[in-house]
Amino acid sequence: MKILVDADACPVRDIIVKIAKEFHIPVIMYTDTCHTIEDDYSKKIIVDKGADSVDIALINNTEQNDIIISQDYGVAAMALSKKAYALNQNGLIYTKDNIDKLLFERHISQKIRRSGKKTPNPRKRVKADNKNFEQALKKLIKLILTAI
C-alpha cells in the first residue's frame, strides 16, 4: 500500500504526510512542472505540463490497495477500477456506490456550461474539511490494513 496524490492543487498535503508517517506508508506526490512541493518524506514525480499528464502518470502507477487522493472524479473512477481506494480533499471516500452519480453530475454540469449557462461554484474550504479528510484517511488506512 502507498498513497498517491494528485498534488497540483491539493490543500491537504501536510495532513497526508503526517498520517503517512504515523502508519509508515510511502507517499508519492504527482505534479506538473508548474508546481513545487517541499517536504522531506514524500517521493515527488514531476511530469510535463499538459492536459491530464499528472492524472495519467498517477493512474499508470496505481496498484491494488493503494490510496489515491484526488478531487477528480475520473481519476477516482480509474483508481477504483484498479481495486485501489480513492479519497477527495474534503474526506469523501469514492466508492462503486457513489462514483457513477458523481460522474453523471459532472457530465450534466459540463453540458450546462457548454450551453453558456452558469453552474454553482464549489463551496469554499473550511477547517472542518481538514478534520473530515484526516478522519477519512485514517479510516481508510485501517480498513485496508485489516483487509490485507
Tell me the pLDDT tens digit for each residue of 8-30: 889 999 999 999 999 999 999 99
Q: In 3-state terms, what secondary structure has residue 23?
A: helix
Predicted confidence (pLDDT) per residue in 79-110, tens digit:
999 999 999 999 999 999 888 777 767 667 77
Predicted confidence (pLDDT) per residue in 36-54, tens digit:
888 899 999 999 988 889 9
Rounded Cα distance between 51 and 65, Å, is 26
Rounded Cα distance between 29 and 13, Å, is 9
Quote the Cα angle for 9-48-95, to 5°: 45
Q: In 3-state terms, what secondary structure has residue 68?
A: strand
What percentage of the chain carries pLDDT values higher than 90? Answer: 66
Domain-by-domain residue ranges, the chain? Answer: 3-147
Nearest residue to 75 via CA among 45, 46, 106, 52? 52
Predicted confidence (pLDDT) per residue in 59-75, tens digit:
999 999 999 999 998 99
Residue burial 112-127, b: 16+ Cβ < 10 Å; e: rest? eeeeeeeeeeeeeeee
pTM: 0.86
Quick one: pLDDT at residue 43? 96
Tracing cell 508546481 back to the chain, one arrives at 35
Quick one: pLDDT at residue 98? 82
Longest Cα–Cα distance of the chain, Å, equals 49
Rounded Cα distance between 45 and 7, Å, is 10
- Tell me how far CA of residue 138 lies from CA of 55, 57, 119, in angstroms: 24, 25, 33
- Is residue 41 within 8 Å of residue 54, measured between CB atoms? no
Quick one: pLDDT at residue 117? 81
How high is the mean pLDDT of the chain? Answer: 91
Q: Which CATH class is domain 3-147?
A: alpha beta
